[in-house]
Each structure stands twice: as C-alpha cells, then as structure tokens.
Amino acid sequence: MKLKSHPPIEELYAEIKKDHPAISKSTVYRNLRQLAKDGEIREVSLPDGLERYDTNTMQHYHFKCRNCGHIFDVEMEYLVEINATVQGKYGFHVDGHDVVFSGICDTCVKKRKQ
C-alpha cells in the first residue's frame, strides 16, 4: 500500500522481499490477485502488458508518460455512459472500461526545456 506508483508485480515482489526474504513470487502473485478480486486494490491494464496494481479502488483513468514510463492517476469524472453506449450499439454486457492517456508528463516536458 505504501507504493503509489502503480508498480508492476516484479517491483512489488522486490519491495516485499526486503521485509520477507523467504517469500516466494507465487505467494505474492496469488495474494495480489486475491486482493484485486476482493476489491482491496485494482489491477491496472496498460498497453505495456505488465500487470500493475493501484491502491485507488475508485473507477478512474490513467496517464502513462512515454518518456519516463511513470503512471499517473487522472482525476476526472468516470464516464459511465460509455458503457451503455457500447452495450446498446453492440449488445455486449459491459461492466467497465479502462482508458489510458499517453504522452509526456509535465516533469519530462520541463526537463526537455532545460
């Protein structure tokens, strides 16, 4: 919970291993998936294919910087009506959607200008 950077499993495993050197990867994977299933954390789907996790369990969007790779929460209204639009047009049963904006974060833009 102390990592706020939307870390991939490998980063979480390395952090947990510091305090629990005997822990196995499979234990970490299994517990992360269970925490996500129980709604304690969210699995974040990103185009890079790495499973990432977020302690913010509310529906929200993300931004990924193409330069530094950092993932940011985007604080804006979650557009629930998109689900109904897709469901109405295609007949799918939609229970959610993920949107990841991409570009260059403010920190990287400032570094480029220096």
> Are 4 and 38 members of one domain?
yes
User: Which tens digit of pLDDT belongs to each residue from 66-106?
Assistant: 999 899 999 899 898 999 999 999 999 998 888 899 999 99
pTM flag (> 0.85): no
What's residue 93's pLDDT? 94
61-65 sheet: strands from edge to edge: 71-74, 61-65, 100-103
What's residue 51's pLDDT? 82
Greater confidence (65 vs 48) lies with 65
What's residue 22's pLDDT? 96
**49 has a pLDDT exceeding 90:** no
User: Which tens digit of pLDDT belongs to each residue from 25-36?
Assistant: 999 999 999 999
> Are 40 and 52 members of one domain?
yes
Is residue 63 a contact partner of residue 74, using CB atoms and an 8 Å limit?
A: yes
Phi first, then psi, for residue 69 (nearest 5°) are: 80, 0
39: alpha, beta or left, given left = phi > 0 and alpha = psi -120 to 50?
left
> Are 81 and 39 members of one domain?
no
Angle at which helices 25-37 and 9-19 cross, to 10°: 110
Is residue 83 a contact partner of residue 92, using CB atoms and an 8 Å limit?
A: no
Query: What is the extent of the structural domain holding 98?
Result: 58-114
Domain tally for the chain? 2
Which CATH number belongs to the domain containing residue 14 in this structure? 1.10.10.10
> Are 63 and 48 members of one domain?
no
> Are 62 and 14 members of one domain?
no
What's residue 68's pLDDT? 92
> Are 7 and 46 members of one domain?
yes
Separation between Cα atoms, residue 7 and residue 24, nearest integer Å: 18
